[in-house]
Amino acid sequence: MNANEPREQGNGGWSQFGATPPSAGGFPRRDTTVMGQPVPPPPPPAPAVKPGLSTRQKAIAGLALAAMAIGGGAAGAAVATAMQPDTIAAAAPAPASFKQASSTLTVSDVAAKLQPSVVMIEGSTGEGSGVVLTADGLILTNNHVVVGAGQGGQMSVKFSDGKSAKASVVGTDPATDLAVIRAEGVSGLTPARLGDSDQLRVGAPVLAIGSPLGLQGSVTAGIVSALDRTLTVGGEQQQQVPPGWGQQPGGQGGEVTTIGGAIQTDAAINPGNSGGALVDAAGQVVGINSAIATNGGSSGNIGVGFAIPINTAKQVADQLIKGGKVSHAYLGVSVTDATGDVSGALVRQVIEGSPAAKAGLQEGDLITKIAGKPVDGGDTVLGQVRGFKVGQQVQITYMRDGKTSNVTVTLAEKK
């Protein structure tokens, strides 16, 4: 978070995922032998996640499967597994509407179409996933998957046909947790078809494709559970890790990153899915899987996962490929969460000469909407603004002295 836009941090948030050693044992199992006796009734279901799960509850983000602590923080995976890179996990039962959403593609068709375009990324700090952008080796992934390699650092990429290639970092953007790498000496790769995340609707069927727990080419099915979630990744939550798994060098919990507009899904994603594809029923990538919510300290999937919208990812990737640096939109306010019965972001400070100051926003204003979308706290403001382009005009709705007003702000580049 830039010093020009400080905000108060709550007790919750999202933490970077850390490491599951590839050599640790296999999956737990449950014996189901009947032994000639009546089958007992199934145990009661696990308690459901409480309604209204917010971005301030515990969560783990950055689903890279790591072998040691990485820059940006680390936490342990709940289930360790031996490396099985050639295993293809079966897709979970798809929603009944999945096939109806596409007259030509079944779930199996979509999976088969996208698996060649999703890779496993391996480095000294662990493993993650990536999405092929070009036939000559450009690959989109999460920043926290490659951060240990550094700019120009080396890692390897494994493709769905079992072949591998060395890869290096083209550019990273910690602010959006995105990165682009290049597989070296390759050609004829199958680029993924990128969709339009702005067209997503709640309830739409999706697949998550990646390498959870080192299981390359795994496919899970679900729906879009919600849209426009705001995730705060890093900070103190990164230090809440299982004993013995290590923390970021220095023990500081890492830089806080706020991601706006995230797609929520119940398609199962786990450590190692980071950087992989969230795919719609037409076989188009609509998101980059990046985070999961947690319940009671568990770091495994509980059916609440998050992906960075592909429209944001495309914008960032284009800039990284062209120049290795990303320009971010800047509003120029310091905000905190509103208190009491009101919902919104309270403006604590307006930076002199900033877009907010030029538009007439003042200290004490309560921002309630940005571009027509509700604001429920300070993180929402930061996350939404990062999703806009430099120079874009955005309408902000705010309250001052009990009166609601609108103002149009022309966003500038964040220095």
Active site residues: 144, 177, 274
* Cα→Cα distances 7→1, 31, 48, 346, 381, Å: 9, 50, 32, 10, 10
Q: How far apart, in whole angstroms, are the C-alpha atoms of residue 263 and residue 278? A: 9
- Residue identified by tokens 């890779």 is 119
Reading the block at residue 90, the tokens are: 């079966």
Q: How far apart, in whole angstroms, are the C-alpha atoms of residue 315 and residue 24? A: 38
Indicate the DSSP class of residue 359.
H
Handedness of CA 39, 41, 43, 47 (dihedral sign): positive
List the Cα angle 114/324/262 in 5-degree steps: 50
Report yes or no: 400 and 361 within 8 Å, Cβ to Cβ: no
Judge residue 293's burial from the number of C-beta atoms within 10 Å of its C-beta, 0-12 exposed, 13-18 middle, 19 or more buried: buried
Contacts of 51 (CB under 8 A, 6+ apart): none
Q: How far apart, in whole angstroms, are the C-alpha atoms of residue 255 and residue 257? A: 6
* Helix, strand, coil share of the chain (percent; to 5): 15, 35, 55
* Cα→Cα distances 17→207, 232, 349, 407, Å: 21, 13, 33, 39
Reading the block at residue 258, the tokens are: 């706020």
Reading the block at residue 272, the tokens are: 């190692």
Judge residue 50's burial from the number of C-beta atoms within 10 Å of its C-beta, 0-12 exposed, 13-18 middle, 19 or more buried: exposed
Contacts of 207 (CB under 8 A, 6+ apart): 91, 107, 110, 111, 114, 219, 220, 221, 222, 267, 277, 278, 279
* Tally of helices (H runs) and strands (E runs) in the chain: 6, 23
Handedness of CA 101, 105, 108, 111 (dihedral sign): negative
